[in-house]
Structure 1
Amino acid sequence: MEQAKLPSGSDKKWLSVLGVGAEGLTGLSEVARFLLDQAEVIVGGQRHLGMLPNSDLRPKLAWDSPITITLDQIAARRGELVCVLASGDPLFYGIGGPLLERFALDEMTIIPAVSALALACSRLGWAWADVEVVSLCGRPLELLHTLLYPGAKIMALSATGETPRQVAQALTTRGYGDSTLYILENLGHSQEKVLKTPAGAWAEQEIANLNIIGIHCQRTPEAAELGGVPHSRLAGLSDLAYSHDGQLTKQEVRAMTLAALAPLPGQLLWDVGAGCGSIGIEWLRTHPRCQAIAIERHPQRQQLIAENAVNLGVPNLKIVPGVAPEILVDLPQPDAIFIGGGVHISGMLETAWQALKPGGRLVVNAVTVASEQLIFHWQQQVGGTLRRIAIQRAEPLGTYLAWRSLAPVTQWQVLKY
């Protein structure tokens, strides 16, 4: 039998990462099988390690919690031939990401199997490019909330066989009980099965732990009463979308503030004096890889921030209780900072400006004369753009409508060179 041809440069590679489908090790390619056979140490979950024959006496490492424990053990084996067994495509919400954060690519050989997403889309006839994807493996179920709108097609990676029931309940609660759920079990295996059911008609049943959920979203007629009004991912959600105690950046000002902050995927925002969290929440809603920290000293407002973040689908918003600027010193360096209150506090602007990354943006909204004077002074020192935001809304006055003005806002935005 001709020896398998390894990838170019494999003489430097000691760490192999092999995707395994539902059919198990028999589905490995010739090259993947060769790498597994040559390995001196094998790493994987209990399910993957259980695929090896009892006669295989090579050292084995099962994933521990936290995952860094096992990553440290792998690093200690550098120089030995280590093989990691993973599910499907290791780079699709899999172990490939953490491994690449720890080890250089030129040390690794990655051979994926067909991902669960590709198999699920093929079974349902859904074009991959038209599908929203979310992993619920070790992640909050509320991540679904951002993705819900009529007609949406969502693929959700399940944590366990309980996840489909939880998804059905969450959809029904939010007014999407008419959505069709497709529970795809054991894809690629001889025991593969597809279950179809309306979310609102979920019946208790046993679901395999290895499953992925297809969701075709449809709102029920009473969805609005259940909070199922779809929210745009653009900035400027209705003020009614938030629970607050009056400390809320109003819709029109919020939209202009997010435009000034100009979020990009993967960037980190500090929302200083977060109030009910609206700026950080809408920053996160622009892209799933965005990050935000809400800094707020009032316990009641911290609770409002948490509730709003969950309700609007960004439970990953980090809430830091404390008083700025002192609390800012030990936070991760931000790409953007928003200060909506407390700009007059001694050291606030100095601390924020020093912390901001080169190329980062600082946006300040001022409503008092003292705060205006301060940002006028800073604008003269470091530059940036000033603008005055004055909004009027038509509101009832007796049996008529009259224009009522919101408090004007002076906004300063500056890019740190």
Structure 2
Amino acid sequence: MTTSTTNIQPWLHVIGVGESGLKSLGTEALDVLNQADIIIGGERHHRLTKGFTAKRIKWPSPFSTMIGKIGEFRPKNVAILVTGDPLWYSAGALLAREWPSEEIKFYPQLSAFQLACSKMGWSIPDVDKITVHGRPVEQVIPWFRPYNNLAVLTADSKCPSKIANLLKEKGYGASKLTVLGELGGPNESMIQGLADSWKLTEENHAIPEFHTLCIECIPTEKEDILPSPPGLPDDAFVSDGNFTKKEIRSLTVNSLNPGKNKILWDLGCGCGSVGIEWLLLSFNGRAYGVEKNQKRCTMAQSNAMKLGAPRFSITCGLSSDLISTFPDPDAVFIGGGLEPDLVQVAMDRLKPYGCLVANSVTLESEAVLVDLQKEFGGTLTRIAISRSRTLGKLTTWNQLLPVTQWMVQK
């Protein structure tokens, strides 16, 4: 076995800083700051690390606009200050995608999640760790589950109130909220209250801007609690009645193979039911929906926010006009407007090992699927679902429209 070596030395140093400032840093990180030509960080980071001669630059907002400028500083020694672990919901991941690993070095600090779980006495692997910093607060909704524990990185002092309101709306008004402010620093604080009465808690306590929010999800109203996807009840969606029903939706979402960081095209998305459930099962995924009916488009946008899928981008128009603006997908669902030319473009753009799924309920569209299966391969499946219903004093079956599903993997 041979071992390759490189003479390239890191010029970009990403340093995690704790609330105790310089006291939180090890000898190696302090040496880097002493030798740095440029130190980049937020106002808070600069305040916690005074005493160095390097040129100071404040982060812009959003931080991504700084990426191109950082490259201009090379080969000067550049130190970037972040909070906690640079590679856990922080700028480190973005920087790591821009420069080779041999040019960048990370100096991790205890993360906010570790500090928060320690304060709460929670086992870290048993806690769902999420962020709404720089993201829509509705992104936390899918994690509301009975007796689930959450640690949430927030954006500001208003976040706990917004999340408390969401908890109440979703039937979790009895949930316990703990705001842990400036963990690890001299001004560390803890504020606790219930979602139902959080407004009163805020009236009696000043919520710190910089904090981690811990949530113990406790259900209040059983009828308000939604099951885990796939297979959300049909009445969870605002619709005009024409959309993929629960049982078919579950099978369709499964065929679309949801997964971490994936991208979905939902063409003819209707009220958004398939795209939303796919997103709820695709951590950090994104979905791009197209719907030509403006009313349904509005319904889809409302459903996405209400059910915790804010990463669903929905546009009113024709799929053939819009898909050129979308990133290449890992999965494509065609729920309406099935056309061979559209399928060809989708297959061309589909990533390797990606899948395309199309459903039909008419003989005409089924004939199109048969021809497409002959051309592209894949499988055809006939799905027939019946639900029980009362018939006088008795019970009988009510059959839903049978669906033909075509699924092909690239």
TM-score range, shorter chain: over 0.9
Q: Give the match's secondary structure for 1:365.
A: strand
Deviation at 1:194, TM superposition (A): 1.7
C-alpha distance in 2 between matches for 1:387 and 1:317: 28
1:162 maps to 2:158: yes
Indicate the residue corresponding to 1:402 in structure 2.
396
Q: What TM-score, normalized by structure 2, do the two folds share?
A: 0.94
1:147 maps to 2:143: yes
Counterpart amino acid of 1:290? Answer: G
Q: Does the 8 Å CA contact 1:10/1:109 hold for their aligned counterparts? A: no
1:264 maps to 2:294: no
Counterpart amino acid of 2:356? Answer: L
Q: 2:356 aligns with which of 362, 370, 374?
A: 362
Q: 2:278 aligns with which of 270, 277, 283?
A: 283
Q: Does the 8 Å CA contact 2:381/2:406 hold for their aligned counterparts? A: yes
Q: Structure 1 stretch 133-142 or stretch 73-82: which is displaced more? A: 133-142
Indicate the residue corresponding to 2:329 in structure 1.
334
C-alpha distance in 2 between matches for 1:240 and 1:165: 27
Indicate the residue corresponding to 1:245 in structure 2.
240
Deviation at 1:9, TM superposition (A): 6.8
Indicate the residue corresponding to 1:307 in structure 2.
302
Indicate the residue corresponding to 2:219 in structure 1.
219
Deviation at 1:247, TM superposition (A): 2.2
Deviation at 1:291, TM superposition (A): 1.9
Q: Does the 8 Å CA contact 1:62/1:70 hold for their aligned counterparts? A: no
C-alpha distance in 2 between matches for 1:263 and 1:150: 23
- 1:32-51 equivalence runs, <5 A: 32-51=29-48
Indicate the residue corresponding to 1:102 in structure 2.
98
Q: 2:121 aligns with which of 116, 121, 125?
A: 125
Deviation at 1:52, TM superposition (A): 4.0
Q: Which runs of 5+ in 1 are unaligned?
A: 1-7
Deviation at 1:186, TM superposition (A): 1.3
C-alpha distance in 2 between matches for 1:237 and 1:255: 8
Q: Does the 8 Å CA contact 1:61/1:70 hold for their aligned counterparts? A: no
Indicate the residue corresponding to 1:64 in structure 2.
60
Counterpart amino acid of 1:339? Answer: I
Q: Give the match's secondary structure for 1:184.
A: strand
Two-structure CA RMSD over aligned residues (Å): 1.7
C-alpha distance in 1 between matches for 2:61 and 2:154: 19
Q: Give the match's secondary structure for 1:19.
A: strand
Deviation at 1:18, TM superposition (A): 0.5
CA spacing shift, 1:350–1:11, aligned 2, 3 Å: closer
Q: 1:391 aligns with which of 385, 390, 403?
A: 385
C-alpha distance in 2 between matches for 1:287 and 1:346: 28
Q: Does the 8 Å CA contact 1:176/1:223 hold for their aligned counterparts? A: no
Q: Does the 8 Å CA contact 1:280/1:317 hold for their aligned counterparts? A: yes
Give the paired residue count.
Answer: 402
1:206 maps to 2:206: yes
Q: Structure 1 stretch 101-110 or stretch 190-199: which is displaced more? A: 190-199
Counterpart amino acid of 1:347? Answer: D
Q: Give the match's secondary structure for 1:120.
A: helix
Any runs of at least 4 consecutive aligned residues in structure 1 with deviations exceeding 6 A, and if so which? none
Q: Give the match's secondary structure for 2:319.
A: coil
Q: Does the 8 Å CA contact 1:148/1:230 hold for their aligned counterparts? A: no
Q: What TM-score, normalized by structure 1, do the two folds share?
A: 0.92
% same residue:
37
Counterpart amino acid of 1:329? Answer: S
Q: Give the match's secondary structure for 2:119.
A: helix
Counterpart amino acid of 2:39? Answer: I
Q: Give the match's secondary structure for 2:276.
A: helix
C-alpha distance in 2 between matches for 1:351 and 1:73: 37
Indicate the residue corresponding to 1:136 in structure 2.
132
Q: Could you list the per-position Cα deviations for residues 255-284 of structure 1 after superposition, in whole angstroms to 9, with x for gaps in the alignment?
A: 111121122212111111000111111111
Counterpart amino acid of 1:356? Answer: L
Q: 1:192 aligns with which of 184, 188, 195?
A: 188
C-alpha distance in 2 between matches for 1:95 and 1:358: 29
1:30 maps to 2:27: yes
Deviation at 1:80, TM superposition (A): 0.4
